[in-house]
Chains A and B, each alone.
Chain A
Amino acid sequence: MAVIVRQAWPVHDAATWVSGQQFEPEETDLPCVEFYHLLGFGKQQIYKGASQYRNHLRCKPVLTFAEHNEWVEVWEQRHPHYVRWSEGIGTQMHRDGFVANPYGRRGSFYSKPRSKTDATRVCSEGVRFVLLSTAVDCMKDAIVQASVAPIGISFGQIKLRSQEDADRLLAIETPVRWDTPQ
């Protein structure tokens, strides 16, 4: 019988690791909005542009555009380390031509100035790459350390052959937390 082990909050945990900012998604009011905000999605992409994401937003009520702006302002004040880290990603991309995740995997993307008046470099694809690749590399590293042969993996989720394999995997301590769905 297949057993599923998953990373409950892969993006939040990866963001905690790489930026040094503590995230507690289970205690916040809008964890899914925060999820997409961490990945660099803007308000249009979250609420209008991609309806498939809107269906995943189990945080109710969905914010209006004006409310979202207010939410972002407050959120950025509460998470200064993360804001500084994401700005650093833009600077690093502009300077080195690549960004690397904690495992050393590199990616190259476009960076651009925030606006005509603000020369701070923005690289949302780079931020997204670091968070997502960190979560997936963490999963691969744990599989190798536990030496289990999975049936299959997808983002944030591993399907294993037995409970023994699951126990071996759960025993591996990683910065991205493991979980078994009920």
Chain B
Amino acid sequence: MIEFHHDKKLAAVAAEIGHDVETVRRHLIYGDGNLYHHAGRDYVQMIKGGRYKRRRSEIYGYVHRKSSNGEPFVLATDEDPKLAYARRYGSKALVESYARNVKYVIENGGPMVPDVEYYDTKTVPLTLNTDTLAVDTEGRDRIFRFSASWFDGLWHAVSLPWNAVSHAWLKRVVGQVEHVAFWMASHDVALLAKEGITVPDEKVHDAMHAHQILNPWCRRALSYAAPLYGCFEPWKYKWELDSEAYSMMDAFVTARLWERMKTLLVETRQRNVYLTEREFQRLMPFEPKPTWEKDENEVTKAAGMVEGELWQ
């Protein structure tokens, strides 16, 4: 059987997290073939479909709830050439994350999710009892939705469309907190400034730069970093199926990651490296990528280089 080859890995993980091998075997599955077997073809097609079809690595290390035996499981990479570089430099970090996530699933019965969710400005609290807020915006050159997450004993997450009321709420809560965490802060801070919400430099934290210091071998995308610091379900495939939930998870995952990274930066004695990096990135110029408003082949057409016209 395929799982036979992974017996040593399973035994190592079981020893590390203090659970028996059989329990770990139920919650840690290796390889794509077993994902089909445990979660079904429809589920696999859904999470691999659409825009993220080619990003197979985004499903490894995550918790998959739908299982043939009714239990959630963490999917670990079997043999994926795309992860060759990661395996060489980050195999230890990957294995540790699998073990940590399996332990979380066994002890909590599922992945990390927000305790309280808000999708309406009428229900969101006006005063936050926290010092750190994670914010994420949707949109490239203008904001059309944003999400926020914070911890005050419970994990809260907000996903709101961009309008006058939500704008006022965000401006208010950003003023209340001491730290605002982003994933790629330069993009979000620039967009928010365009919309009249200035986040002071001393409040801004970029979890992406902290991730690059802690795991420089790993890609900078949030979906690649997430399983290294927390235990989540894959959510990036939801971007067109359920954009509200997708947006909310972006902020919630950033908040959980930043919480974990703060500890790791101190433990690995790299906090000063992060603070210098943060100051340095603040000084570097950044402009959001412009979108093509007109015909993007305009220049090519003007030069008479459009396909087919050359032969006329």
Q: Which residues of A contact B (CB under 8 A)?
A: 97, 100, 103-110, 137, 140-141, 143-144, 147-153
* Bound form: Cα–Cα A105–B216 in Å: 10
Pick the contact of B273: A97, A104, A148, A151 (CB < 8 A): A104
Closest chain A CB from B217 CB (angstroms): 8
Assuming the contacts A104-B269, A106-B268, asked whether A150 and B92 have C-beta atoms less than 8 A apart, the reply is no
B44 at interface, CB cutoff 8 A: no
* Bound form: Cα–Cα A109–B216 in Å: 11
B121 at interface, CB cutoff 8 A: no
Interface SS, A side? loop
B144 at interface, CB cutoff 8 A: no
Closest A residue to B90 by CB, please name it. A108
Pick the contact of B276: A108, A141, A152, A153 (CB < 8 A): A141
Residues in A whose Cβ lies below 8 Å from that of B276: 103, 137, 140-141, 144
Q: Which residues of B contact A (CB under 8 A)?
A: 88-90, 92, 213, 216-217, 268-270, 272-273, 276-277, 279-280, 283-285
Counted as pairs of residues, one from A and one from B, with CB atoms less than 8 Å apart, the total is: 44
* Bound form: Cα–Cα A86–B280 in Å: 29
Pick the contact of B284: A97, A106, A141, A150 (CB < 8 A): A150
Pick the contact of A150: B90, B268, B269, B283 (CB < 8 A): B283
A144 touches B89 (CB 8 A): no
B279 touches A144 (CB 8 A): yes
A143 touches B280 (CB 8 A): yes
Closest chain A CB from B90 CB (angstroms): 8
A137 touches B89 (CB 8 A): no
Closest B residue to A142 by CB, please name it. B280
A110 touches B283 (CB 8 A): no
A107 touches B284 (CB 8 A): no
Closest B residue to A148 by CB, please name it. B283
Pick the contact of B283: A104, A106, A147 (CB < 8 A): A147
* Bound form: Cα–Cα A140–B279 in Å: 9
B89 touches A109 (CB 8 A): yes
Closest chain A CB from B105 CB (angstroms): 27
A108 touches B283 (CB 8 A): no
Provide 29 A-B residue pairs closer than 8 Å at the C-beta atoms, listed in order of the A residue: A97-B92, A103-B273, A103-B276, A104-B269, A104-B270, A104-B272, A104-B273, A105-B270, A106-B268, A106-B270, A108-B92, A109-B89, A137-B273, A140-B277, A140-B280, A141-B276, A143-B280, A144-B276, A144-B279, A144-B280, A144-B283, A148-B283, A149-B283, A149-B285, A150-B284, A150-B285, A151-B285, A152-B285, A153-B284
